């Protein structure tokens, strides 16, 4: 499935959210050119290079240009002029200095699909605030709901807002390209980490505005629902059990062959189970610790109860579902000069999972190649390199 074959994408992003959006398009066939500053994407070395290695696949090519120079700007503007899609993640107003803002690009490329990805959007009192994923987790209310009531809030351990915003951006770009195909018109899309995060808090906001109740942290579980938390099987092996209604509770009791828990008045309905959750937990904990975790979760899943082992990253990498679905893909961590695996595309099309490519590009690896495609001669490129405007990879044989 390569619907974007022949679509040129100019990637002016760093970090995670922007790169994941263009990686999606590259995986689906687009020609993605990533413009990096002389020092490279600021995230190339974070987590020993693992972050960059995970979100810059999809066949991206890297061009390293100094956009603070007139000739660096001119080269990037030429890329924007021929692009079908431009994605940028600068703070509002910065791209205007480079002549790469939507209005400037649209003057020479009127049907361009242009997406600005920022922390807080193109206007508003916080438009100039810098933001990374955990800051937005905090400001959106998400972090306030995570953890235990008697302890401080905690962040989610993965960059879920970055990934969610990048995925949202990819969907919007795909939709804009479809609209352009129909109407012939481009558009400027304004999407932000904060707005995506707030949208994810939608049901909590609806609950608050309807009841006046501010959600409290509920630890491993979900306030008002029981049993709905982490339990332990034999050997203290953790797993998660999510029973959100009476029907699932009945399946749980019958699957465990514990009819006594089904007829106990303390646990008759969810409100009763929540009120007597400590007693219910004690009953279930004693029962669960009699079983091997793998056997127990399989038994409950077969009974139709949502459950699964609480796995560490090493266990996920060896998970039989991950292996069966071939969910991991080979990549290469340029920072540490080591082969790695990362998560592959999270879908299959016609029974096949798309290839993401063997590795992300080295910083400036395709500088010469892309500039020559724009019409620069070898002598022009050599001059730009000498004048410190263009920065080919240090591995470039020329």
Q: Would you state the torsion angle of the CA atoms of residues 214, 191, 126, 148, taken in this order, to the nearest 10 degrees?
A: 30
Q: Would you state the torsion angle of the CA atoms of residues 130, 134, 138, 140, taken in this order, to the nearest 10 degrees?
A: 70
The number of beta carbons lying within 10 Å of the beta carbon of residue 171 is 13
Half-sphere exposure of 23 (CA within 13 A, CB side): 28
What are the strands of the beta sheet with 307-309, ordered from one edge? Answer: 228-232, 238-242, 307-309
Token digits for 382?
């050599």
For residue 396, report the phi and psi dihedrals to the nearest 5 degrees.
-65, 120
Token digits for 225?
């629902």
41 labelled catalytic: no
The number of beta carbons lying within 10 Å of the beta carbon of residue 103 is 10
Angle at 366 between CA 361 and CA 370, to 5 degrees: 140
**128, 162, 264, 330: which is the annotated catalytic residue?**
162
**What residues are labeled active site?**
162
């Amino acid at each position: 499935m390569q619907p974007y074959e022949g679509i040129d994408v100019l990637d002016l992003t760093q970090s995670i959210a922007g790169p994941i959006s263009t990686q999606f398009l590259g995986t689906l066939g687009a020609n993605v050119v990533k413009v990096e500053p002389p020092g490279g994407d600021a995230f190339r070395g974070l987590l020993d290079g693992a972050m960059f290695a995970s979100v810059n696949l999809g066949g991206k090519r890297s061009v390293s240009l100094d956009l603070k120079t007139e000739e660096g700007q001119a080269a990037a503007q030429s890329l924007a002029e021929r692009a079908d899609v431009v994605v940028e993640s600068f703070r509002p107003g910065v791209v205007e200095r480079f002549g790469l803002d939507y209005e400037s690009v649209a003057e020479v490329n009127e049907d361009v699909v242009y997406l600005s990805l920022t922390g807080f959007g193109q206007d508003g009192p916080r438009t100039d605030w810098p933001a990374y994923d955990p800051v937005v987790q905090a400001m959106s209310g998400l972090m306030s709901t995570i953890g235990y009531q008697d302890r401080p809030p905690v962040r989610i351990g993965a960059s879920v807002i970055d990934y969610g915003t990048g995925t949202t951006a990819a969907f919007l770009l795909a939709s804009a390209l479809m609209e352009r195909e129909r109407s012939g018109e481009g558009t400027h899309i304004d999407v932000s980490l904060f707005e995506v995060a707030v949208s994810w808090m939608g049901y909590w906001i609806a609950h608050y505005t309807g009841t006046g109740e501010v959600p409290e942290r509920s630890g491993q579980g979900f306030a008002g629902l029981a049993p709905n938390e982490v339990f332990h099987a034999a050997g203290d092996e953790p797993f998660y059990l999510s029973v959100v209604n009476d029907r699932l509770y009945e399946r749980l009791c019958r699957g465990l062959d514990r009819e006594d828990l089904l007829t106990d008045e303390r646990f008759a309905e969810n409100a009763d189970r929540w009120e007597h959750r400590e007693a219910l937990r004690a009953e279930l904990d004693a029962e669960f610790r009699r079983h091997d975790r793998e056997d127990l979760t399989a038994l409950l899943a077969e009974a139709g109860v949502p459950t699964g082992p609480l796995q560490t990253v090493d266990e996920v990498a060896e998970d039989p579902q991950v292996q069966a679905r071939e969910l991991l893909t080979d990549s290469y961590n340029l920072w540490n000069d080591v082969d790695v695996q990362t998560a592959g595309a999270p879908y299959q099309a016609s029974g096949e999972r798309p290839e993401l490519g063997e590795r992300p590009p080295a910083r400036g690896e395709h500088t010469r190649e892309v500039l020559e495609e724009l019409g620069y001669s070898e002598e022009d490129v050599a001059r730009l390199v000498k004048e410190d405007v263009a920065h080919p990879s240090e591995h470039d044989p020329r």
